[in-house]
Structure 1
Amino acid sequence: MPALLGPGLVRLGLAMMVLVEHLSRFEIGSLAVMVFFTLSGYWVMRMFDESYRHMPRPLTTFYVSRFLRVWLLYVTVFLAAMAVLWGLGRYDPATWAALPILGVATHDRDIIGIAWSLDIELQFYALLPLLWAVAARLRDGAGWGLLALATLLLSAFSWVLLYRTGITLVTVYLPLFVAGAAIHLLRLRASSRLALLSVGAFVLAAVVVYLTPEARQLLIYGTDNPNHNKLFALLWAITLLPFVAWNVHQPSGPVDRHMGNLSYAIYLVHFPMIIAGRELVGRDLSDPEKLVVLVGAPVLALALYLLVDRRYERLRRRVVRALKTLPPPRRAAIIPIESAPMRESDSVQ
């Protein structure tokens, strides 16, 4: 595997895959989101373990930090998109339901296009203390095996609930988050050879699906039922777990970390840009116009990252430092897991 394939570059590539899906006939964006969920399970668990659990008020600090990291940039893009749509005469008051993010995965009033995945992400943050408490009591492989089985059964039940009621819960995608968390907690590492085999299995699965006429629509255009597309993407993403276990341990310098940070801005701005373009021309975008968006969305995201997101990040860090000075509560809120504290990496978001 290439030595320069750092975690930030992979996250940037996943964000671009979501952009490509929204501009083309290739159903690869849902896959990218599923891999993002696994990466989130790893980075958030690692960040909490190495940084926040040693603070006087770990949960308070963690939740405030996550809120500032996710919601501030989201609400900036959300309000800008609402203003643009209002100017184009397409204002819909019902869209304000997406402002708090939570619930978007179910009610689907999403002018950002990907806010449903942020809703799932926030639900995972809410479950993190429970997952941490369970992991603290797992002493052997049998315990982790029972956790894996319980996670799969809960996910299967949640998929049934989703298909029957349309309610989307984090438990639908919980196996991906738990897999990412386990990579950190169990110190799982994959060799470059295993990572390469993982990518090979991923490509082979895509070839088999493409060559199967009844299943080809899962890769091209997608099925009429978005739940089918997401379920397939989840199963497809599982083939990449060894690659993820390899990639998260690769070196990540300043440039790689900036690319990873930029991925969130691209993730947020690209779909409103596509919608605004369609409204301006009064039709679907032509291929040259899609090319303009393909190039323009990362450029706009870069400006947003440099001018806005980095300021939000400095604010987040100041708030976290201030919370560190608060006196600790009388009782510890977190069950400790033996692990050497480490400085929070800039690549952890």
Structure 2
Amino acid sequence: MQSGATGRTTDFGYRPDIDGLRAVAVLAVVLYHAGVAGMPGGFVGVDVFFVISGYVIARGLMREARGGGIAIAAFYARRIRRILPALVATLLLASVAAYWILLPPQLEDYARSAVAASLSWSNIYFWRSSGYFDAASLYRPLLHTWSLSVEEQFYLLLPVSLLVAVRLQLRPLWLPFAVIAALSLGLSVYAGRAAPTANFYLLPTRAWELLVGTLLAMAPRPGLGALPPAAREALGLAGLAGILAPVLFYSEATPFPGLGALPPCLGAAVLIRLGEARAEAGRDAAATRLLAAAPLVAVGLISYSVYLVHWPLIVLSRIVLMRDVSAPETAAIVAATLALGALSYRFVERPFRRPHAPAPSPSRPQRLRPVFAAGFAATLAMAGLGWVAAASGGLPARFPEFRVRPVPGTETWNHRTCFLFADQTWQAWDQAACTRTAGKAGLVLLWGDSFAAHYVPGLIRHANRLPGNLVQYTAAGCRPTLGFASHVVPHCHAFNENALALIRRLGIRDVVLAARWGAQRDRAVPQDLRETVAQVAALGARVHVIGQSPEFPLDPAFLAYRQRHDPPSVAGRWRPVTDPRVNDALRAALPGGTTVIDPFPALCDAATCPYALGDTFLYADSGHFGSAGAALAVERFVEAGLFGRPRSTAMAP
């Protein structure tokens, strides 16, 4: 990543150790995304990049401020020359590959993300449409551009903020930035539980990481060179440990960013500051010498281009293969990433940066006009091409045999009445309309998100096997755990609280909880579910939990198209991308007396799950059951004891 990487920190002398730090960050990210074992926390490389960016950009701006003022236009012109050429080149190459590889609906989503990446809006686009660790995100070639958008949004704000602070003669200058950093960190800690996906993607909860580097550039020199050599060596080891320990020991289960991002960010800050102490100490610490080693510097110089190309290569390979890549394939992808990154750096980045051209003078704005014009034209062209591909539905003429068949099921959810959307409050729910079956004495409440609603056609089909009439209480993106809050679904908290009132008021004796339990990065889900089950049980209701159901890498239409020449014994089944251990965690957290159904043993064999039976699709998309799939699932779940006495066999019919 690190669109601010220049390879030359000219305002304070070239720092090979910073390029080495970039190399550590980009290698951690690339190897993590490539699935290399032993680096489950490699995603923290992005946070290291944020610190470096904040530091390098702020040092340049501070130098200008000391020289008499900040040339805002010249700053943005430099950003354009350094960011856009390699980004545009990557988008062009990835788009050519996507044109030949992606089926129309996939290309449509890709095109929309290309528009967002061109406009520095992709973090918001992906926040609204996915989570970083969701299975579906593994098949979105431009997902990684979220971090570029965060940086670019920061670049819009920092120079203006610094200029205002300088003009107002604030003393100390760093104080307002430190306050903003503290508020951003506090917001990130809060959002880690209340809105984990927003916490990951958005600038307000990421700004503190960039501001760590900014504050480092503003802070007075602490005189590290005067420290004893042993102390400086210990600082270097601590800085490296702050980065490498999370790379080795963090995982997708680690609450992040929030406080979890502090070690890599502070580790990067310590290493950057330690490298500054060379002039004071007369020699580098071992950590600085390590980072300045030629191999790491070489990778650091090309780190921006490497970051840009690595994810499209990985994702498009995965889509072509329709499986995870093997170890030799992974090695080939990593090698190709480094090779393409080097070519992009040599033939795209460096020429457009014009390192030997005189810097444009703020007093000669006409020199900047071609830069802004070219940047605007390139952005408009990429966004325009993306819009055309998206508006056409993914250029369907490329694959004339491909057809998206409508799969019945979602029309039974009773949208906006029993299945509420993000803009609706619980008051839009209607009890009479949402009592979906009749003829029984009691009531069964189905409570959850769309992964609860997708069972509605199956529960209606098997109404005679329910212990009461079905009452549907579902909302998009609203996990059925008390206390859950979401910026995407702002009314979810109140919706869930009202469920307890419904259970009490209607005298409901059976409550079915179902959701996409693995979708959110909030790893407190099992405990939250346990507390919710306890409160429901306290009202006298029996609780039945349906675990995470299988999800596939692609929609059934895509899988069927790719398998159209496979024998009948193989066609219609594929390896799920959902981690079944999510259900193990739910089961372990729940109290005795709770019926828990694991859909995986109920529906799948050891390796694959069915997405179709003959010509009948069981799924309406990559994760939601259609009518036929819901009927099959509910039948299997009832046979496994969904409404019977809780027993161990309920987990494996």
**TM-score normalised by L of structure 1:** 0.74
Cα deviation digits, residues 155-214 of structure 1 (max 9, x gap): 32355457545544323122222221222222436457556434544676789989xxxx
Partner letter of residue 325 of structure 1?
R
Please state if 1:32 is matched with 2:45: yes
1:286 aligns with: 326
CA contact (8 A) 2:65 2:166 kept: no
Contact 1:194 1:242 in 2 (8 A): no
Residue 14 to residue 150, structure 1, CA distance change in 2 (3 Å): closer
Query: Residues 288-314 of structure 1: CA distance to partner in whole angstroms, max 9, x if unpaired?
Result: 111112222111111111122222212
Asked whether the 8 Å contact 2:23–2:297 carries over to 1, the reply is no
AA in 1 matched with 2:304:
Y
RMSD of the alignment, in Å? 3.8
Q: Within 1, Cα distance between the matches of 2:230 and 2:216?
A: 17
Deviations 1:77-114 (A, max 9, x none): 01211210111134223223323252211221762342
- 1:71 matched residue in structure 2: 84
1:106 matched to 2:124? The reply is: yes
> Which position in structure 2 is the counterpart of 1:309?
349
Does residue 1:42 correspond to 2:70, yes or no?
no
Return closer, same or farther for 1:248/1:261 CA change in 2, 3 Å cut-off.
farther
**Partners in 2 of 1:38 and 1:248 — Cα distance?**
15
Q: Using the alignment, how far apart are the partners of 1:308 and 1:117 within structure 2? A: 21
Tell me how many residue pairs correspond in the alignment. 312
Once residues 284 and 185 of structure 1 are traced to their aligned partners in structure 2, the CA distance between those partners, rounded to angstroms, is 45
| CA distance in structure 1 between the aligned counterparts of 2:275 and 2:191, rounded to whole angstroms | 34
**CA–CA distance in structure 2, aligned partners of residues 132 and 234 of structure 1:** 29
Indicate if the aligned counterparts of 2:55 and 2:216 stay in contact, CA closer than 8 A.
yes
Distance 1:77 1:11 in 2: 20
Residue 67 to residue 54, structure 1, CA distance change in 2 (3 Å): farther
Quick one: structure 1 residues 209 and 319, their matched pair in 2 at CA, closer, same or farther if it must change by over 3 Å?
closer
Tell me if structure 2 keeps the 8 A contact 1:57–1:324.
no
1:185 to 203, 206, 218: 218
| One-letter identity of the residue aligned with 2:313 | M
1:197 alignment counterpart: 234
Q: Which runs of 5+ in 2 are unaligned?
A: 1-14, 130-139, 279-283, 285-291, 367-653
> How far apart are residue 117 of structure 1 and its match?
0.9
Say which of 93, 107, 120 aligns to 2:150. 120
Corresponding residue for 1:264?
304
Counterpart AA for 1:11: R
1:112/1:269 contact within 8 Å kept: no
Q: Does the Cα contact within 8 Å between 1:65 and 1:320 map onto a contact in 2?
A: no
Distance in 2 of aligned mates of 1:153 and 1:164: 16
Change in 2 beyond 3 A, CA 1:48/1:150: closer
Task: Give the match's secondary structure for 1:99.
Answer: helix
Shift of 1:54: 5.1
* Deviation sequence 1:124-179 (CA, Å, 0-9, x none): 11221214533674435xx7566534421233235545754554432312222222
Structure 1 residues 66 and 254, CA gap change in structure 2 (3 angstroms):
farther
Shift of 1:67: 2.1
Closer/same/farther in 2, CA of residues 198 and 97 from structure 1, 3 Å limit: farther
| Paired position in structure 1 for 2:250 | 219
Structure 1 unmatched ranges of 5 or more: 211-215, 328-349
In structure 2, the partner of 1:97 is: 115
Cα 1:155/1:205, change in 2 over 3 Å? closer
Q: CA deviation at 1:56?
A: 8.4
* Distance verdict in 2 for CA 1:146–1:44, change over 3 Å: closer
Which protein is bigger by CA-based radius of gyration? 2
8 Å CA contact retained: 1:56, 1:326: no
- Whether contact under 8 Å (1:151, 1:174) holds in the other structure is yes
1:277 counterpart (301, 304, 317)? 317
Q: Say which structure is richer in helix.
A: 1
Which residue pairs with 2:21 in the alignment? 10
Q: Which residue of 2 aligns with 1:234?
A: 261
Matched, 1:326 2:354: no
The correspondence for 1:139, drawn from 171, 180, 183, is 171
Residue pair 2:309, 2:340 contacting (<8 A) in 1 also: yes
SS at match of 2:318: helix
Cα distance, 1:254–1:236 mapped onto 2, change above 3 Å: closer
CA shift in 2, pair 1:53/1:293, >3 Å: farther
Q: Aligned letter for 1:28?
A: G
Considering Cα pairs closer than 8 Å and 6+ residues apart, tell me whether 1 or 2 has the greater RCO.
Answer: 1
Work out the CA distance in 2 between the residues paired with 1:54 and 1:163: 44
Provide the rounded CA distance (Å) in 2 between the counterparts of 1:183 and 1:138. Answer: 17
Distance in 1 of aligned mates of 2:83 and 2:72: 16
> Comparing 85-94 with 228-237, which one deviates more in the overlay?
228-237
Amino acid corresponding to residue 120 of structure 1 in structure 2: V
Shift of 1:63: 1.1
Q: Is the 8 A contact 2:51 2:265 kept in 1?
A: no
For 2:55 and 2:112, how far apart are their aligned partners in 1? 35
Counterpart AA for 1:172: T
Tell me if the contact between 2:242 and 2:264 (Cα under 8 Å) persists in the aligned partners: no
What displacement does 1:32 show? Answer: 1.2
User: d(CA) in 2 for partners of 1:85 and 1:180?
Assistant: 36
2:204 is aligned with what amino acid?
T
Question: Between the two proteins, what is the percent identity of the paired residues?
Answer: 20
Q: In structure 1, how many angstroms separate the alpha carbons of the residues matched to 2:88 and 2:16? A: 31
Counterparts of 1:330-341 in structure 2 under 5 Å?
Answer: none
The alpha-carbon distance between structure 1 residues 163 and 103, as it changes in their structure 2 partners (threshold 3 A), is farther
Give per-residue Cα distances to partners, 1:233-254, cap 9 Å, x unaligned: 5122244021221236669899
Determine the structure 1 residue equivalent to 2:496. Answer: none
Rounded to whole Å, the distance in 1 between the matches of 2:358 and 2:193 is 41
Which residue does the alignment assign to 1:81? 94
Q: Name the CA distance, whole Å, in 2 between partners of 1:51 and 1:169.
A: 29
Which secondary structure does the structure 2 equivalent of 1:229 belong to?
Answer: coil
Q: Is the 8 A contact 1:11 1:260 kept in 2?
A: yes
1:213 counterpart residue number:
none
Worse overlay, 188-197 or 230-239: 188-197
Q: Given residue 287 of structure 1, which amino acid in structure 2 is its aligned partner? A: A
Distance 1:302 1:87, change over 3 A: same
Q: 2:122, 2:146 within 8 Å by CA — same for their partners in 1?
A: yes
Q: Which amino acid aligns with 2:221?
A: L
- For the Cα contact (< 8 Å) 2:23–2:300, is it kept in 1? yes
